[in-house]
Structure 1
């Protein structure tokens, strides 16, 4: 069980809990997710998601089940799926389970964030399906998380990608650079992992892009040699 606290200047803090669908074993995760969604009123939601995946418990794994611990009318239930060796085309299909997502835009984001058109063989790409009050089997929103740290030579390259994408999706690149400067304690070219994930949200409740930063509390991942470097 994980918890996260969301703090915004214009709203009271919100608490979220993340549960492990694999707590009884990977092969039983789909059943737990199905039961949880059915009990919350999203009957058939797991089947709708699974229909867009390549193979649950083989290459696609239910990794988290999240709940907003809040009584607001836009409180969410979210289902996270990790995709081993996925391509942007695989993610486009996964995103099509959402009612209001943008599968083609999601695929383009994955290719730009990872720098790959083919399989992402490092840390897996992750889908998140957002169920809102009033939904049934079809989730309203969809997000994709790209672990950019595994697909760059160093954090200088990761920052370049983050800034280029943030400009495309309306997040000021100067804000991204300022946030990175506030937490980094080293040269960005000296390692990778400070910029951990890049995420795109499509559909309700709040479409947009997020850049995830790491504190590197336990160490710094070694930089790779850039292609073509002397």
Structure 2
């Protein structure tokens, strides 16, 4: 299978979207409308919500150069789109880092904190759990190229948008990550559920598995989740499945079919896949696991990535036609001439029925990647 250097030589990856004069919010609304159109969904219901969460920084021009690089995307662009299918119903999402008044991590962190508190005016939003742990994850001197306080907006037709907040669990240093997460889980009433993971954390860390993000659903209901994201080194597929197997509803046999769809006959993974463990009150262990398989470096082009995703969808009983229509509508060039718009394929098995699948898109607008970014 072609490596990332080969991909770069045959397909365009950087600066796919030339939009220096567009504002962030206009760019996002255009892509949101395109995704909804491809999926056959009316987009107007939540456009005002999208605008409001990007205020006031969304009115700035994207520009030709990345003045405030974000860890959200390889080129520093602070926004990522995704589509997930749960029980066959699509959900559209944006993940973003709020930009501050100054191009610094500290200003972005403050902008994220301010947005969290502004979200309490939205239907169904609660920040009670956020308030319990915020002090663990903010700092007077946040590091560049790490999460500050990020958010996502997720919407399914017929419902209000749901919001999630993301933190940097390495904020007190990588060596203290496990302690920070354990303290947060205790404050959130999830110490028992974290225990089986915490018991293995030291060994997992010694094998290169790093906790990269910590996230909360900003919801009032009992189904609100806490999510812990591990980033993995290049490992064999059994090692990749090790953390996911800690979850109650993970099906390793079905997951391996998806691993093979992305990695083919490769013995090891590539480009640092991720696993997210989801926790809920009343469940004494991780309830579900999302495995995120990185497509650049494994699929040669976006066309190749789309075909692999479509095969996985069919294997789970999902019709991929609307997804393929969406990809064609989003791509600025024929999909066999681009690489990297498809970033991740996520896979999560449920207690019954088809797996939940997700596809993550990154819209490269700048002409180079951040140094050291995947």
TM-score by length of 1: 0.87
> What runs of 5+ residues in structure 2 fail to find an aligned partner?
1-148, 370-374
1:227 aligned partner: none
2:205 aligned partner: 56
> For residues 74-93 of structure 1, what are the alpha-carbon distances to aligned partners after superposition, in whole Å with 9 as ceiling and x for unaligned?
11100000010122211222
Residue 135 of structure 1: how far off its partner (Å): 1.7
RMSD value, Cα: 2.2
Q: State the SS of the aligned residue for 1:78.
A: strand
More helix per residue: 1 or 2?
2
Is the CA contact 2:194–2:286 (under 8 Å) kept in the aligned structure 1? no
User: Which residues of 2 match residues 1-230 of structure 1 at below 5 A?
Assistant: 1-51=149-199, 55-56=204-205, 59-121=208-270, 123-136=271-284, 138-203=285-350, 207-219=355-367
Which one scores higher on RCO, CA 8 angstroms, separation ≥ 6?
2
- Cα distance in 1 for residues equivalent to 2:175 and 2:265: 30
1:224 aligned partner: none
- How many residues align? The count is 219
User: Are the structure 2 counterparts of residues 50 and 111 from structure 1 closer, same or farther at C-alpha, using a change threshold of 3 Å?
Assistant: farther
> For residues 142-172 of structure 1, what are the alpha-carbon distances to aligned partners after superposition, in whole Å with 9 as ceiling and x for unaligned?
1100011221211111111011011112332
- Cα distance in 1 for residues equivalent to 2:329 and 2:164: 25
Is the CA contact 1:140–1:203 (under 8 Å) kept in the aligned structure 2? no
Q: State the SS of the aligned residue for 2:164.
A: strand
TM-score by length of 2: 0.55
Residue 175 of structure 1: how far off its partner (Å): 1.6
> What runs of 5+ residues in structure 1 fail to find an aligned partner?
222-230
